[in-house]
Structure 1
């Protein structure tokens, strides 16, 4: 089956329409004010005599999404939702930066073209949080279906990172996908050379909870120097691109660095005022120094690859291991059945950390209230346990469950071992270990993150090119980020 790229930004978008125009309307005059001023799509009429799922039959909803695995699976099998509700759904899929601009334009105009929005936490949710409906109102509405298992069935770190912004009570999105960076390695080669590596290196090379980044580096060098099975030991997504920020951040956190003070809270709930960047710290510089050293022994093409590039190169046999998004397990299993293993990323002096990149789906508060209620039906169905199980087995992709209860289902638990009809579940042990509070890596959820991301990966790319030392790169990135944050979050 064709592989669907994990849901991460290819590059932060160009500056969208003024956030001031969006937020002044959504937070100040309110969605109704925007609609009165700009027109907008007409509301839908509810059939009060129909059951909760059929009340909005005949409605057509518009869902704008990045081209992700769960959306591909849902788009391929919308018939069950239409049969259940009588609602049709038009799905528009775009690259993330284009999606962010489309959503910003829709909010600024007040047209309300999109009822359901793939609300990336960093490029959509944080900048435009007031333009999304609080989903608690729909869950508490006796006339509407309730979420099976309630909000509490969603994995807590996902609900916070993908579903909330600043306010710990409001829920603005339901966790929809959850790509997470893990250690992917050629289990067949590790088994083949395990004894030799252990003798040469002085430690068991098999990935475990005790594995360190220094050991990862030593394993990479061993494959470079001591075997011809693969040309290189490790490969990375180190292109001057959002992927470089993701790859580097794992080391930044592992070495005790962070982007801002109280980094876990800034990543979990978000803020509009994160303060000065911490990238000048000794810990951040130490992480950058190690990352530079690690890339010096990696496949030289790493600096040309994003996550798709490194994933394809891994499957083609160029190197023995890499950090990458766990949802590449499906493609790995197709290309190299039974040959790939998965583990939590190694630990550094401070902790282990794996970048989380999940996103929620949200209801636009710009559309009329009847449309919002119809959109809630889609959210409830799209994130339901049955739908998530179906997505796991989809022939066109399918995401990884964001609900705790799904992992307890016998067919899902059985799929964690080969042969598996749900290949993404082969990485689930590594992923669920990474989601623990001490291991999850959460980038800053701030409205200006797109610009900060660009500043970071630009300076780290200069470091990898030899144009800046690690300390100079971190200082330059921190200076740029401080200027971005100082300008404020409303353009």
Structure 2
């Protein structure tokens, strides 16, 4: 996960409307030559000798796959080039590839907000490949993917599936279990409630726990820390509070987050619930580690794992680093509740296939995308020393060895978060930012105003109302398609 950048989408979209026609034209004119198809009854080996280019952000599953491509090569005879880029650079290169009618990148790490929402017309509907009798289908079918994740990362505006769920980082409550156990009885007496973290604790109780650590123990410097840098991370951190208070970015936020839209309607950040959430967030950050305003997720994670803070909200896949730093001293829970619900922002991404691919290129790309998201590969990633990303498949979590790993000692430390993230992924608890083509600009607007609020330059109410005004200006400009 990286800061969401903005590119010249109009330039890209001048070519997007004719992607399919342009692809066929270049093939007919000999501009590109398709890979060969081998005569074989083995559906996994029919494109042996082909090369597939996969462009990805540098994520945990990609690192694990890159470190162990031999099983795929032995299965298919296909060579895979993996190109890892910072996300903004990835989006720029993919947009140019799509606009030019090219398929330099056959398989694409399709961020829902920077790739899927603006460029879905340039991607393949994977249902066509999954149902092609000449190609291997998805083991367990689309239904084996966690449903909220398939919708959030795979769909845009309809039933088509443009990407298979590939990674699933989700913000959960991470805390020093040893310190909560050490001080449990005293905290409970002082605070008047059981301080053990869970999805039933409220944000007000989280605030009081953090302040208790500030005032009553030298075990840590601060009770809580946050990823409150003027950056995408600040939007993520605040969104958990916003949704829990009943606020949202647009009306019908569940639909906009799951399926996406080009026309989200008026922004709702000026509502009483959004202002109340901002007021609480400002108050919470006032007692948090002061360095929170300089941290994104990568700054916050070592603050927890080094013993500087007692707890924080952060992406669940930092569990492996926590366990390496202080084995056995951490635990994980769903985010606290606000007046309406517990909300846990989901940051997952899928992998897609370039719509400019020629028929056999597309088949080879499908073999890789299918294999890379298969249960066996996700289990291997989970065990990998090079990666450690957590699965997007229900069947993997149901494996006996994975269930055993949810408890210490665990050879799969990220799975220690499984009880928390399973709860977080339930429809009532998952937090989904708006899946709209213009989200990058909206993202910048919200974290800029929040940063001004935390600096004391604007009030929470003014920050929310100004952001709502900016959102409306952005979305009213519409989207060229």
Task: State the TM-score, normalizing by the size of structure 2.
Answer: 0.98
In 2, are the aligned partners of 1:61 and 1:87 still within 8 Å (CA)? Answer: yes
- Which of 145, 169, 184 is 1:154 aligned to? 145
- Counterpart for residue 111 of structure 1: 102
2:264 partner SS: coil
1:61 partner SS: strand
Q: Does 1:72 align with 2:63?
A: yes
- Counterpart for residue 308 of structure 2: 318
- Counterpart for residue 24 of structure 2: 32
Distance 2:386 2:462 in 1: 45
Unaligned runs of 5+ in 1: 1-7
Q: Does 1:354 align with 2:344?
A: yes
Q: Does 1:52 align with 2:43?
A: yes
- Counterpart for residue 472 of structure 1: 462
Q: 1:22 to 1:288 in 2, by over 3 A?
A: farther
Q: 1:40 to 1:133 in 2, by over 3 A?
A: farther
In 1, are the aligned partners of 2:154 and 2:350 still within 8 Å (CA)? Answer: yes
- Which of 416, 420, 425 is 1:435 aligned to? 425
1:322 partner SS: strand
- Counterpart for residue 363 of structure 2: 373
- Counterpart for residue 269 of structure 1: 259
Deviation of 1:59 after TM superposition, in Å, equals 0.3
Q: Does 1:215 align with 2:208?
A: no
- Counterpart for residue 5 of structure 1: none
- Which of 256, 259, 265 is 2:246 aligned to? 256
Unaligned runs of 5+ in 2: none
Deviation of 1:207 after TM superposition, in Å, equals 1.0
2:187 partner SS: helix
- Which of 163, 176, 194 is 2:184 aligned to? 194
1:138 partner SS: helix
In 1, are the aligned partners of 2:144 and 2:395 still within 8 Å (CA)? Answer: yes
In 1, are the aligned partners of 2:12 and 2:98 still within 8 Å (CA)? Answer: no
In 1, are the aligned partners of 2:248 and 2:274 still within 8 Å (CA)? Answer: yes
In 2, are the aligned partners of 1:40 and 1:110 still within 8 Å (CA)? Answer: no
- Counterpart for residue 13 of structure 2: 20
- Which of 376, 383, 391 is 2:381 aligned to? 391
Q: 1:207 to 1:382 in 2, by over 3 A?
A: same
RMSD between aligned residues: 1.4
Distance 2:252 2:27 in 1: 39
Distance 1:310 1:15 in 2: 32
- Counterpart for residue 411 of structure 1: 401
Distance 1:444 1:280 in 2: 16
Q: Does 1:307 align with 2:297?
A: yes
- Counterpart for residue 10 of structure 1: 3
Distance 1:105 1:454 in 2: 23
Deviation of 1:341 after TM superposition, in Å, equals 0.6
Q: Does 1:144 align with 2:138?
A: no
Deviation of 1:318 after TM superposition, in Å, equals 1.1
Q: Which moved more, 1:11-20 or 1:133-142?
A: 11-20
Q: Which moved more, 1:182-191 or 1:16-25?
A: 16-25
Deviation of 1:33 after TM superposition, in Å, equals 4.6
How far does the alpha carbon of each residue in 1:243-271 deviate from its partner, in whole angstroms, 9 at most, with x for none?
Answer: 00000000000000000000000000000
Distance 2:27 2:274 in 1: 47
Deviation of 1:315 after TM superposition, in Å, equals 1.1
- Counterpart for residue 271 of structure 2: 281
In 1, are the aligned partners of 2:110 and 2:350 still within 8 Å (CA)? Answer: yes
- Counterpart for residue 4 of structure 1: none
Distance 1:22 1:322 in 2: 45
In 1, are the aligned partners of 2:229 and 2:293 still within 8 Å (CA)? Answer: yes
- Counterpart for residue 62 of structure 1: 53
How far does the alpha carbon of each residue in 1:214-260 deviate from its partner, in whole angstroms, 9 at most, with x for none?
Answer: 00000000000110000100000000000000000000000000000
Distance 1:303 1:16 in 2: 31
2:17 partner SS: helix
How many residues were matched structurally?
481
Q: Does 1:335 align with 2:328?
A: no
Distance 1:57 1:122 in 2: 34
Task: State the TM-score, normalizing by the size of structure 1.
Answer: 0.96
1:338 partner SS: coil
Q: 1:242 to 1:105 in 2, by over 3 A?
A: same
In 2, are the aligned partners of 1:385 and 1:405 still within 8 Å (CA)? Answer: yes
- Which of 362, 372, 378 is 1:382 aligned to? 372
Distance 2:224 2:7 in 1: 33
In 2, are the aligned partners of 1:261 and 1:274 still within 8 Å (CA)? Answer: yes
| Mapping for residues 158-169 of structure 1, pairs under 5 Å | 158-167=149-158, 169=159
In 1, are the aligned partners of 2:17 and 2:121 still within 8 Å (CA)? Answer: no
